[in-house]
Structure 1
């Protein structure tokens, strides 16, 4: 009797549960409960409602029933899959505006924490990929795509969909952060995927990827490779035209415009001008003002080089206007510089000075944006690690953070010692070579070039140290106020380093310091340091951090040096110093 009663209760319970699973959501529950390596492909089949049918009402009905079912039948895996479907649907169907995307990030972050408890790397890889897609310009974009790639390779890429897209996303993110070499590496990996492996991938991504690779090579001054990929872009568009006529025409114009820009660098202006003009004409017709600004700047550069100053002014002014229209900071930098150089060539000093000041302002803003983006990427990485750490006990988290902090400090010290030892060794080798082959002019020129590279490396090292210290201060501000204050007092360049730097600088630019001393026999060491840093074109912020003084002090030092050199009001100290080289 007791057995019969238990069996009856079991049947009633199962019947109740079966009733809770309506026919509508039953297929979704079946697909989303899968935990083996087929889970990604099973889940992808359920997205057809959003991608093909775009049924908003059906989407809402499924989501409402799923959340109601989960209320009575809690299940972590089902909740994660439901949330992923919910977030994807709101974006794909246009339910969320761009300002509401952070809501999706909050939900997916919660999903990631729960998925880590399930110890399911495949589910985690999907979550990382979806989190990254929320905003392609966010600091976490590259990080989460790289995390997704890492897990996909570990599990096997055949178990995932749109794997190639992850490589394109990383290539794009790295390009935006000006890491052009790595952007090319990931871009070439994307292009290496077969058509079958890229099945379902938007064809536009293939076009965009070729453009990114071509642009990256151009930024690296590898114009032959850049030209190759823009010709490849043009051939691809001709072989397989874009489905939309306007996009087809615009991309052809972009490819030709970039080929024209490269031809101009190769002193083939007669071939370059028609291609760039076609780029401009098509861009204006299709109201693509960002491309119009690029084309106008390219035309202005050609006219300025050929001393057609009237045409150059007209093109640069148009470029500046279009850059303002679309708020294109890079094109503002180029247009303002072009206008300043043209006015300088035509002896219109006041206008040249005004546009040089504007150019400096835009260039500083661009540098700040780039540095801010890189710093945000570091912070995003730290935030990601923190999110993982919070899954452990609080005491373990604190201990790990302290160990990490100490490791970083020790690593900095060790790297500094290694760098100094390496530097001293190189100096001894160079001294030996100089004593042995001092009379050979060719080797003297090579040594000067090596010294210039050392100075460039030294300058970059100053900038990287500054960024690292700032980042380290942010990490330690809550953990150790006393250490933070010590870092704030840290000066990046010591007297010993400056003496070594001065020696290298003298090798690279033998006439600079002697010319400066002739101009100002009573020049003091502080003024000499300031002049060499101005020659290296460091910004005011970088000079201030390098010398361990404030920005205002740098400004006053520059004004005093300018006055002692008897330069006029219209003269630019930086230009004067650079001419001494």
Structure 2
């Protein structure tokens, strides 16, 4: 449990050699499996893979992402969120200096929220197992225990048959270890015994190393609680497990020495120092032989106490001094405090008051450090529980809101049904009113359409009329040019040039009808020009209707040159380039 972040409900026990595409597909199908045995199916699928971080984050995660994009599924989404949460703080992102990334917690909490919304407690327990391993990865033992406690509450309620037995065993073993690390020895014993009680029900036995490790943790915890008989029982159980094993292996020699050494330490505590001697010496020799400084220190700590009981104070002092220096270096407060206290006792017996006082003070310092550590662990445990309770409260509030929403929908549905009944009763009475109203609306629509067609026809007639007048003026101008005396001809031509075919009154009438037929024209023009003048409105309207410069000049009663200048100014106001046509822009309005 040192550097492996176990994903997806702690399937850390599964380890094979070949991640294959079919196995990945089987895992993804298990993610979407909505049966109560889905975790068992996942377990079987994972057994076909290497279950390494590289496989989980470089193969399975991208495959899950791709599958979710094609086939969105809430259960798949929960697993995907958990994979993302793990990837954010594990594998290439594993960094003890930074710790757990906030996104890991956020993504896992979102997965928990979805589980609550789905009402799937089995999937929720699996997610809590995942969240626990997130804390275990960074040695946050208090949160690890809190999350696993919540997961086991669900597992105990739903039934262990829906969870792989080996998974539950490893989780309990992990809780035993975590409790031991924070000096919660009674909890360590509790979780360890629960794990050991499961051994007989497992379809396949766990790794011997793990089983012996649990026995060691429980036995050591009993020893720290000064329950020697219970401690001896568990260490003798280790010796029983080692029977029939290859006695030449390092594993056998070291664990045999550890078991016997701890038995010897307990015998010494019971007053049987003679029987303890060879067992403690075996423990020390094994530690020295394998270069295991931790076991050397533990063995010499036990030997020091045994020597002290036998009155061999110099040997006791030598052992305790070694333990004290090693414990200071490793920051092992419990052993440092015990060694300092032992050294002080030896010096007191020897009459070295100053040395005794110095090491007594050292003992107090390390005991205070141990107390602070325990208090800090207790505080962290409380904080972890508060966080979990806050999360659960938030989820409960969400659930309550959903219930309220559901109830509201039910009331709404009931109201709709009631309204439907009332509507049915009033239907006959309202039918005629509705029909009349629809007939009136239809009539209004027909009238509006007729009015629009009429207006459009009027505009077309108006345009045709204007063009006919223009044609008439042109023909008169030609005739006068040939048949009339020069002076009279010039007077008539000047009169025709000044004649305005659209008066202000006619223009307002025309503009009203034009706006009905082309409602977007004047707003579009106003959007392109600030403060549109009446002259610009008339010019743009006639261009829109397809009038040429001469027809515009005759209609507005101005010269053709004036029309040309007016067109040029309008084009500038519209910011058109030389290549852009005024007619094309106006036609779009």
Q: Which TM-score bucket, shorter chain as reference? A: 0.5 to 0.7
- SS state of the match for residue 123, structure 1? helix
> Which residue number corresponds to residue 122 of structure 1?
122
Give TM-score, length-normalised by structure 1.
0.58
> Equivalent residue for 2:237?
232
Distance of 1:24 and 1:318 partners within structure 2 = 53
- With over 3 angstroms needed to count, the CA separation of the structure-2 counterparts of 1:108 and 1:240, relative to structure 1, is farther
Contact 1:129 1:145 in 2 (8 A): yes
Pair 1:384–1:229, CA change in 2 (3 A): same
Matches within 5 A, 1:415-494: none
Deviations along 1:294-314, one digit per CA (max 9) or x if unpaired, are 111111112222232221221
Task: Supply the distance in 2 between the matched residues of 1:31 and 1:379 (Cα, whole angstroms).
Answer: 35
| More displaced 10-residue stretch of structure 1: 28-37 or 191-200 | 191-200
Aligned residue pair count: 374
Aligned with 2:265 (options 245, 261, 267): 261
CA 1:376/1:188 → structure 2, altered by over 3 Å: closer, same or farther? Answer: same
Structure 1 portions without partners, runs of 5+:
1-21, 398-581
Secondary structure at the aligned position of 1:144 is classed as helix
**Contact 2:116/2:124 (<8 A) preserved:** yes
The answer to whether 1:212 aligns with 2:210 is no
Task: Answer yes or no: is 1:160 the counterpart of 2:163.
Answer: yes
**Structure 1 segment 185-200 matched on structure 2, within 5 A:** 185-197=190-202, 199=204
In the other structure, the counterpart of 1:412 is none
1:502-540 deviation digits (Å, cap 9, x = unpaired): xxxxxxxxxxxxxxxxxxxxxxxxxxxxxxxxxxxxxxx
> Residue 438 of structure 2 aligns with which residue?
none
Paired residue secondary structure (1:390):
helix
Encode CA deviations 1:181-222: one digit per residue, 9 max, x unaligned: 443333223222244526363332211221122123223322
| Contact 2:32–2:73 (CA under 8 A) maintained in structure 1 | no
Greater Rg by CA = 2
1:282 and 1:93 map into 2 onto residues whose CA distance is 35
Structure 2 equivalent of residue 56 of structure 1: 54
Higher relative contact order (CA 8 A, sep 6+): 2
**Residue 50 of structure 1 contacts residue 93 of structure 1 at CA under 8 Å; is this kept in 2?**
no
> Where does 1:83-482 land on structure 2 (aligned, <5 Å)?
83-85=81-83, 96-99=94-97, 102-103=100-101, 104-134=104-134, 135=136, 137-161=140-164, 162-197=167-202, 199=204, 201-240=206-245, 245-391=249-395, 393=397
Counterparts of 1:70 and 1:354 in 2: how far apart (Å)? 66
Q: Secondary structure at the match of 1:102?
A: coil
**How far apart are the structure 2 equivalents of 1:178 and 1:72?**
49
Change (3 A) 1:189 1:224: same
Structure 2: segments with no counterpart, 5+ residues: 1-20, 402-589
2:76 aligned residue = 78
Structure 2 vs 1, CA of residues 200 and 273 (structure 1 numbering), >3 Å: closer, same or farther? closer
CA, structure 1 residues 264+200, in 2 after alignment: closer, same or farther (shift >3 Å)?
Answer: closer
Following superposition, the deviation at residue 84 of structure 1 comes to 3.5
